Amino acid sequence: MAARRSLVDRLQRRQFSTPASSAPSSIAPFAFAFDIDGVLLHVSEPIPGAAAALQHLHRLNIPFILLTNGGGRYEADRVADLQRRLGLDLEGSSDTHDTDCAGPLPVLSTANFVQSHTPFRELLDNAAGLDAEAAAAGDKESGGSIGGLRDQTILVTGSDAARIRIIAEQYGFRSVITPADILAAYPAIYPFDPLLKSVYAETARPLPKPLLLEGGKLASDASAAPFSPSDLDDSKYLRIAATFVFNDPRDWALDIQILTDVLQARQGFLGTFDPASLSAEGSEGGTRLFFSNSDLLWATTYHLPRFGQGAFAAAVAGVWAQMASSEQPPLLSPEGGRSTLLGKPHAATYRFAERTLLRYRASLLEAHGSKASSATKEAPLQTVYMIGDNPESDIAGANQFSSAHGTDWCSVLVETGVYDPVRDGKNSDYLRHRPRAIVGDVGAAVRWALQREGWPADF
């Protein structure tokens, strides 16, 4: 409580002591990316100095994004919750994903916020949008040679698949199904009916199309004709174009069964079986599986770490390894070609974060009267300070990331979260992923970076 009071005091002092006009007029060649849990918040409570640091950067027109492995809520809702917890923009700002709007930008909005599943949006118009090859080809925003997933059927799951479906629809995906929809339409796919009635029936929606039941073993119509390749017709049968795990699934058994069914289906036609999918080479044209976060464990109010989405991904991959040829590359390896892992420390998330940061920086410059195109040429983004508490995700990801724009991602570790200087050792030699600097908290991290850049750090 005392910490909270002192934070409020400091915020109020700032309002009177630092007029906006004191901000330097030059364009900062640097920016920030902040992790949330353990950096800005600790078990949902603000960490002292966090709001003041963000407001100081905002006053100086220094761009920043929040970059978290969390998820499960729509971005605008999570941003509103963070604004409330941190005491930012209390007069209220709506979903400002459209950064073309006139007027000064709020300190925090969906335009500078990236959570684990935010990158899925990029697949609306370009199904290859998160691939390294697509990124290397020039960071195309959308509309590449490959089509998008906006109008194709996608399967989503997570902690609350019904809510996840609504998030996917808010993103713009128009045909979104959940495991419950499949189970309700074809209960025999997973024969444990008590859960069907008590849990799934409530949230299930009718499937857009029936399954193509290869061999007819599941069909109620016993006269189903034998399978023919010409049956693979997505105008008649359900074809799942991509599968997305948004956050930690609750019913691993159902989800592993259905994800495995999708992985072994012919070209995404659930209900079919492609023997090649289990071969050493694997099948061509199968459904891609996206995991938004690969953290094996996470910290909760329980005294020992709990399973995260990475544990679920390992379970899917473990079952698949039991079924597939031992010659086949592991499901979660890039060589497997079937799955994409997102979230820190993976490069796909850092590439997306950098695109978001560059777009936000341009809108920030424009909102303050600079021509973004000429300003970014005059002052390219040279450094991004990644402020995080987790050496294995925040720091590892920043250290390993190779920016297509030559931007240096400088890792800074704080001591207010996962990293414990007493347990882990004060010397960064103890760490497998060594940060460029270790500081006490987010306020000290921002001051360290500003002093390094020669900018005012008096907050």
Binding site for Mg ion (CB under 5 A): 35, 37-38, 389-390, 417
CB 43 to Mg ion: min, Å: 12
Residue 300 has which token pair?
């909760």
Minimal distance, residue 303 CB to Mg ion, in Å:
18
Q: Which is nearer to Mg ion, 66 or 381 (CB)?
A: 66
- The distance of closest approach from Cβ of residue 118 to Mg ion in the complex, given in angstroms and rounded to an integer, is 16
Smallest gap, in angstroms, from Cβ of residue 205 to Mg ion? 35
By 3-state DSSP, what share of the chain in percent is helix, strand and coil, each rounded to 5?
40, 15, 50
Quick one: 35 or 251, whose CB is closer to Mg ion?
35
Q: Which residues pair with 14 in a beta bridge?
A: none
The DSSP code for 62 is: -
Kindly tell me which of 309 and 376 has the beta carbon lying closer to Mg ion. Answer: 309
The answer to whether 147 touches 130, Cβ cutoff 8 Å, is no
Tell which residue, 157, 142, 141, has the closest CA to residue 200.
Answer: 157
User: Residues 70, 118: contact at Cβ < 8 Å?
Assistant: no
CA distance 356 to 352: 6
Q: Please, what is the minimum distance in Å from the beta carbon of residue 267 to Mg ion?
A: 39
The nearest distance, CB 417 to Mg ion, in angstroms, is 5
User: Exposed e or buried b for every residue in 180-190, given b needs 16+ CB within 10 A?
Assistant: bbbbbbbeebb
Contacts of 65 (CB under 8 A, 6+ apart): 31, 32, 33, 34, 112, 113, 114, 353, 356, 357, 360
Of 181 and 392, CB closest to Mg ion: 392
- Quote the tokens at residue 385: 């300070």
Dihedral pair phi/psi, residue 113, rounded to 5°: -135, 125
214 vs 389, which CB is nearer to Mg ion?
389
Q: State the angle between helix axes of 2-17 and 50-59 in degrees (0 to 180), rounded to the nearest 10.
A: 20
CB of 434 to Mg ion, least distance (A): 17
Q: And the tokens for 148?
A: 């998008």
Q: CA-to-CA distance for 269 and 207, rounded, in angstroms?
A: 13
Query: Among residues 180 and 413, whose Cβ is nearest to Mg ion?
Result: 413
Other C-beta atoms lying within 10 Å of the C-beta of residue 383: 16
Nearer to Mg ion, 186 or 419 (CB): 419
The least CB distance from residue 4 to Mg ion, in Å, is 20
Of 145, 71, 80, the C-alpha closest to 114 is 71
Q: Which one, 262 or 387, has the nearer CB to Mg ion? A: 387
Q: Which is nearer to Mg ion, 248 or 389 (CB)?
A: 389
Q: How far apart are CA 99 and CA 105, in angstroms?
A: 8
Nearer Cβ to Mg ion, position 73 or 165? 73
Closest residue to Mg ion, judged by C-beta, is 38
CB of 299 to Mg ion, least distance (A): 9
Query: Does residue 214 sit in helix, strand or coil?
Result: helix
Closest distance to Mg ion from the beta carbon of 7 (Å): 19
Element (H, E) at 373: helix 372-378
| Distance (Å) of CA 51 to CA 18, 42, 89, 363, 395 | 15, 13, 11, 22, 22
